[in-house]
Structure 1
Amino acid sequence: MAKQISIITFTGKLGNLIGYSRGGKHFLRSLPAKVRQTTATRRAARRFGIASKRGSLIRSAFSGLMDVRCDSGHVNRLTSALIPSAGGDTGSITAFRFNRHTGTDRFLTLSPKLSRNGILHIPPQTLPGFNGIHTLEIKVIAARIDFTTHQVVGTETAVLVVNAGESFKGAACDVDIPGKGTLVVVLQIKGLQNNMPSCNRKYLAADIIAVQPPQTLPVLHRQTYSKDPVFTPPSKEIEAPSPARTRFSFIQLE
C-alpha cells in the first residue's frame, strides 16, 4: 500500500495501479497479476450469467407490449429471482411484479389460473371499487420463449375493459402460442379515469401470472379451441374467429 502525496490524486484504475481513498487520505495499490477464483465463485458467476441472460430475454419479449412503466429495480429483481436455479426453473418468476408498488391481486381477489392445455381462466368475482377509478383495463400478454436458442418464438395480446366495483362473470382465453419453448403469461391491469389511464402507480400493475415449461408428453383429452386465443365467458361457447384474425379477441357477457 502506497500513499498518494501528489497535489493531484485519483481513485480508480490507472494502468496497473488502483487509486482509492480511506479516512480522507489517498492510497495506491497494484493490480493482482492473476485473479484466483474458487469453485464456488466460478459457479456463482456462471449462475449469475445464465440468470442475467434469461432475464434479458424475458424483458425483451414483453417490453414493447406492456403499457405499465416498470420500477427502477425490476432488472435486478428479475435476475435475482432466476439466480437460485441458475435460470433453469423459470417457474420461480411466477408472481413477479414489473411494478413492485402494485400487484394484480389489488384488482382481482381470485387469481387467474393457467391449465395444462394452455387455457387461462379468470374466475367470476366482484371487482373492488376505487375512488376516481371507473373502469379497469385487463390486458393479457403471452409469449413463447425458447431459452435454448435464445429466441422469442411468438407473442400475443388481448384487452378487456370492465367496470370497477361491479360483478365480473369471468372469462377464459386460449393462450397456447404454437412453437417450442416456455410459455410465459403476463397480466396487466390499469385503472382508468374517464377512459384515460391513471397516473398513480398504485393503479397500474403488471405481473407474471403463469409460466408453463415445454411439455414433453402429449396432453390427452384436450378441449378443442380456436387456434387464435379468444376470451369468452365460461357460460358461452367460443366462436370461431375469421381467418384474418391474428390477435386475441374477447366476447363479453351481455
Structure 2
Amino acid sequence: MAKQMSIIPFTGKLGPLIGYKRNGNYFLRSMPESVRQTTATRRASRRFGIASRKGAFIRHAFYGNLDIHCDGGHINRLNKLLIAAGDHHAALTGFRFNQHTGIDRFFAVAPRLLPNGILNIPVQTIDGYKGIAALEVKVIATRIDFISRQVTGSETVTLMIAPDTTFQETNVSLDVPGEGSLVVIFQVRAMYKDGPSRSRQYMAADIIAVAAPQVPKSANKRRYPKQTRLLPNLTYTHAYPAIIQLE
C-alpha cells in the first residue's frame, strides 16, 4: 500500500495499479497477477453482483421522489441487506436511507400498511422542536417488478403537521395498480419558516412496508363445471373500508 502524493489523485484501475480512497486519503496498490476463485467465492461473487444490481435499481426507483440527503454508507448497507434477504423482499422493511435519523424520532407509534392498501397513521402526540414550524410528511408508494426490473406505478402523498400537538389518526389510500411488489417509504422533514432543515438529525426516510405482488382476480376465481340449470337472480352487497380523503 502506497500513499498518493500527486496533485490530482485518482481512484480505479490504471495499468497494473489500483487507486482507492480511505479515510480521506488516497492510496495505491498493485493488481494481483492471478486470482484463484473457489466454488464458494464464485457463489459469493455472484450473490454480490445480483444484490448490487438490485440495490441500484431500488435506489434509482426512489431517488427522484426523495427530498433528503442519504448517508454516505446507504449503498453498502442496502447491498448487504439484499445479500442476506435474497428474494425475500419483505426484509427491506425498516431500511433507513439516512442511518442517523429514523422516523421513530418524530412518530413514536409507527404507521402501518393494512392489507387493503390503506396506510394507517395512528393517533399520537407530536413533539415540538426549537425553531421548527412544521413537519413535512411524504409517503412514497412505488410498485416494483423485481423480476423484470421495472417500476410499474408510483404515487406520493404529502402532509404538513404542526409540532407540539396531538396528531389525529389518518388513513392514506395507496392505490398503485400494476405488477410487482408495493414498496412504501415514509419520509419526514423538519421545516423552518423559510424552508426545510438541512440537518441530518431532522430528516428521515424509512422503508416501512413491502407488500407482495397483487394476485390477478382471475387467479382467485374457482372454476366449476358448466351447469345447465338456471340460477335465481342474486343481489350482492359490497362493503368498502372507510377512507379519509386528504386535501
Identity %: 48
Matched, 1:120 2:119: yes
Query: Where in structure 1 do 4 or more consecutive aligned residues deviate above 2 Å?
Result: 12-15, 27-30, 215-219, 221-225, 236-239
**1:85–1:238 distance in 2 versus 1, CA, 3 Å:** closer
**1:162–1:29 distance in 2 versus 1, CA, 3 Å:** closer
Quote the offset at 1:224 in angstroms: 3.5
Residue equivalent to 1:79: 79
Within-5 A mapping of 1:78-227? 78-86=78-86, 88-194=87-193, 196-216=195-215, 224=240
**1:206–1:223 distance in 2 versus 1, CA, 3 Å:** farther
**1:169–1:36 distance in 2 versus 1, CA, 3 Å:** same
Q: Which amino acid aligns with 2:44?
A: A
Q: Secondary structure at the match of 1:148?
A: coil
**Whole-Å separation in 2 of the counterparts to 1:61 and 1:90:** 15
The answer to whether the 8 Å contact 2:103/2:186 transfers is yes
Within-5 A mapping of 1:34-53? 35-53=35-53
The answer to whether the 8 Å contact 2:171/2:243 transfers is no
**Whole-Å separation in 2 of the counterparts to 1:151 and 1:121:** 27
**Whole-Å separation in 1 of the counterparts to 2:103 and 2:64:** 20
Quote the offset at 1:193 in angstroms: 1.2
Within-5 A mapping of 1:59-70? 59-70=59-70
The answer to whether the 8 Å contact 2:182/2:210 transfers is yes
Q: Deviations over 1:83-111 (max 9, x none)?
A: 1133x111111111111111100000000
The answer to whether the 8 Å contact 1:135/1:195 transfers is no
**Whole-Å separation in 2 of the counterparts to 1:132 and 1:29:** 53
RMSD value, Cα: 3.0
**1:148–1:200 distance in 2 versus 1, CA, 3 Å:** same
**Whole-Å separation in 1 of the counterparts to 2:139 and 2:213:** 20
Residue equivalent to 2:224: none
**1:192–1:222 distance in 2 versus 1, CA, 3 Å:** farther
Q: Which amino acid aligns with 2:36?
A: R
**Whole-Å separation in 1 of the counterparts to 2:31 and 2:161:** 64
**Whole-Å separation in 2 of the counterparts to 1:18 and 1:142:** 44
Q: Secondary structure at the match of 1:138?
A: strand
Q: With structure 1 as the length reference, what TM-score do the two structures score?
A: 0.74
Residue equivalent to 1:9: none
Residue equivalent to 1:23: none
**Whole-Å separation in 2 of the counterparts to 1:122 and 1:111:** 7
Residue equivalent to 2:23: none
**Whole-Å separation in 2 of the counterparts to 1:62 and 1:13:** 31
Q: Provide structure 2 residue ranges, at least 5 long, that are not aligned to the other structure.
A: 1-11, 19-28, 221-236
**Whole-Å separation in 2 of the counterparts to 1:76 and 1:30:** 24
Q: Secondary structure at the match of 1:60?
A: helix
Alignment: residue pair count = 211
Q: Deviations over 1:51-92 (max 9, x none)?
A: 111111111111010111111111111111111133x11111
Q: Secondary structure at the match of 1:47?
A: helix
Quote the offset at 1:176 in angstroms: 3.5
**Whole-Å separation in 2 of the counterparts to 1:40 and 1:46:** 10
Quote the offset at 1:238 in angstroms: 3.9
Q: Which amino acid aligns with 2:160?
A: V
**Whole-Å separation in 1 of the counterparts to 2:14 and 2:199:** 46
**Whole-Å separation in 1 of the counterparts to 2:48 and 2:69:** 25
**Whole-Å separation in 2 of the counterparts to 1:169 and 1:13:** 56
Residue equivalent to 1:31: 33
**1:204–1:149 distance in 2 versus 1, CA, 3 Å:** same
